[in-house]
Structure formats: structure tokens, C-alpha cells
Amino acid sequence: MALWRLSPSAVARLRDVPQVATNPGSPIPAPLVSGAGIIEVVSAGPNVVVLAGGDQHWALSRGPVGRATSSAVAGGWLYVIAEPAVGPGGLWRCPVKDLG
């Protein structure tokens, strides 16, 4: 998976993003912006993985069990809706400050 920064005049791949193999066929929610940072939620294996970073440093954090279907940042929290292979989906949250 790669992340790109788009502007009206240029396209640039973000460097040093940790390598994460995504689950085939799983949706990848749109990247989120929190302050100067970028957050990407990825379905990888049985769990969701959260990438948080920017131009200098990236951190990888383990998220909830399941496949991420959507995500949002509000009030300093990251929210993820995840659907496990068996059972109902759930809403997971984590303070953005703890992601990296």
C-alpha cells in the first residue's frame, strides 16, 4: 500500500510509510487529517492496522479485530467501524495522541 499527497500542481508519494499488506477485497477508508498528521486505517490480517504520521515519522498501531469499513476523527479521537469475520460489527475508538 502507498499513500500519496496530491496538490493542484504536483503528486508525491509519502516516504517511509510502514509496509502493510492489505486484505484483498477489503475497503480502505480514505486517509484522515489530524493537525499536521495523516491517519490511514487498513484491514490487514484479522485486525485493523492504524498508520499515523506525516513527512518525518510514521507509527503503526494495532486496531480492532475485523475489517475496517469506515473511520473518522472527531474531538481528538479516532473512530473505526470494524466487522469481524463472525458476529456483529463494532465501533472502536482511540485517542489520536496515542497513535504516534
User: Closest by alpha carbon to 26, among 42, 39, 38?
Assistant: 42
Residue 100 pLDDT greater than 80, yes or no: no
Domain that holds residue 32: 4-99
SS3 string of 40-87? EEEEECCEEEEEEECCCCEEEEEEEECEEEEEEEECCEEEEEEECCCC
Instruction: Count other Cβ atoms within 10 Å, centred on residue 33.
Output: 10
Q: How far apart (Å, rounded) are the C-alpha atoms in residues 22 and 35?
A: 26
pLDDT greater at residue 56 or residue 66 = 66
- List pLDDT tens digits, range 16-65: 899 898 888 888 889 999 888 899 999 998 999 999 998 778 999 999 99
pLDDT for the residue 66: 92
Count of domains for the chain: 1
Stated pTM of the model:
0.87
